[in-house]
Amino acid sequence: MDFLPIFLNPHKKPCLIIGGGPVALRKAELLSHTDAIVTALAPAFHPNFEPLVRSGKVVLRRKAFDSSDLKGFALVIAATDDTTLNATIAHSARKSGLWVNVVDQPELCDFIMPAIVDRSPLIIAVSSGGRAPVLARMIRARLESLIPANFGRLAELAGRFRTRVKPVVPNPKERRRFWERVLQGSVGELMLAGQTTAAAEAMEAALKSTNKDHVPLGHVALVGAGPGDPDLLTFRALRLMQEADTVVFDRLVSAEILALVRRDAEKIYAGKARSEHTLPQEQINHLLVRLAKEGKRVVRLKGGDPFIFGRGGEEIESLAAEKIPFTVVPGITAASGCASYAGIPLTHRDHAQSCLFVTGHRRGDQPNLDWNKLVVPQQTLVIYMGLLGLQEICQALIRHGMAPDMPAALIQSGTTPQQKVIIATVSTLAERAREKNAAAPTLIIIGEVVKLSEKLSWFQGQEKGEEK
């Protein structure tokens, strides 16, 4: 180990940065996030030093370096573009008993500045010992995507309760298990979702239950899995899927997305198709409540976005009624995902200034829609679950004033390698869909924006069925 990883407390310590260029600026910006007293010394400075000066974070000294300038400082950073001068600074600092960092010259450094993931008070440092700083930054970027932004708040919450937990759970091994349980359970999820008050209340409840034969409540996350492509999952969705004890998933959740769930998690299929409900909605609601009361971390995984034709509101109403902690993670809805992968912008300055989402589910033998609101100039119409009633929908739109030659598209299995895009008009789309043996899941887009598909289509993993 060439460098010992340590964390320095810079509180009110005088720190000197020698250099006035972009490299020195980056070091000044980094130190400005602390309570250090920062001075930058150079004959001239990059203009972007000025905001730091105005904020009171940095003081500038416009002069050439002299060894006497080191007096009174706790540590020194040499960040000039002159390697000879940097070596002189390092020698002078070391002679004065000061720790020195020389940018990009690790052989002259007493300490180095790592790549940092800042979730204050949680700090993660990544270093290659100066050998491969780009690699260290790549690792930092990967960690940034894996560690939620609110981890700092969670650390602060744990700090507030730390002295209270120790006397309640005196055994170190049991105390470690207690912290693992609360930080990975509802307390942690509530805090990561920004529900600070609820997280503190859950922490209080966890403390009160430590000496009782009581299973603490679990947590339910209502998670949008997006339209099919696993790369469209949010960071939070992926993290929750990999931490869940139980995942309750729908028919529209692809096998590729389900494969990202923690391997030993219980997986419960609750899919719904036309005339086939594996679990009725009421049973799903009761199931989520029961699993949470068993203390489990539950993910309710739904295709698209849970609040857009996903009945997510009904499920969390049941959770709220039972006082079950829950969070909602939005997903990319089928409308935006499928339209993007088909090269169809839902709005466009020249073609559509509004967009309307409706569901094509039938009530009785006919789709139950407000047709007058659907036939509006300069509007894109997006119809979910409309394949079964497609012919009736198109005919009704024409009867209510839509031009028969209005461009229309049907997108099957959007965003996946099996994507099929059928381009036609309102008068011919149903026939074209039958010819192409269209099958669910599908999305229908109607409007002038559909004409842009041929020019803007970019996704190569699709089969097209176009009518010119």
Active site members:
250, 272
For residues 187 and 195, the answer to whether their CB atoms sit within 8 Å is: no
- The distance from CA 223 to its chain's CA centroid, rounded to whole angstroms, is 12
Burial class (CB in 10 A: 0-12, 13-18, 19+), 173: exposed
State phi, psi for 214 to the nearest 5 degrees. Answer: -140, 130
The amino acid sitting at 191 is M
Place of tokens 């070391």: 94
Of the candidates 319, 328, 292, 159, the residue with the CA atom closest to the CA atom of residue 216: 292
Of the candidates 47, 45, 70, the residue with the CA atom closest to the CA atom of residue 60: 45
For residues 304 and 264, the answer to whether their CB atoms sit within 8 Å is: no
Tell me the C-alpha distance between 398 and 396, whole Å. Answer: 5
Order of strands across the sheet with 407-412? Answer: 354-359, 379-384, 442-446, 407-412, 419-425, 462-466
Of the candidates 185, 442, 223, the residue with the CA atom closest to the CA atom of residue 334: 442
Tell me the C-alpha distance between 146 and 123, whole Å. Answer: 14
Would you say the C-alpha torsion 274, 278, 283, 286 has a positive or negative sign? negative
Of the candidates 185, 252, 206, the residue with the CA atom closest to the CA atom of residue 416: 252
For 137-153, letters b (16+ CB in 10 Å) and e give eebbeeeeeebbebbbb
Tell me the C-alpha distance between 352 and 344, whole Å. Answer: 11
Which stretches within 147-195 are classed as H helix? Answer: 151-168, 172-184, 186-192
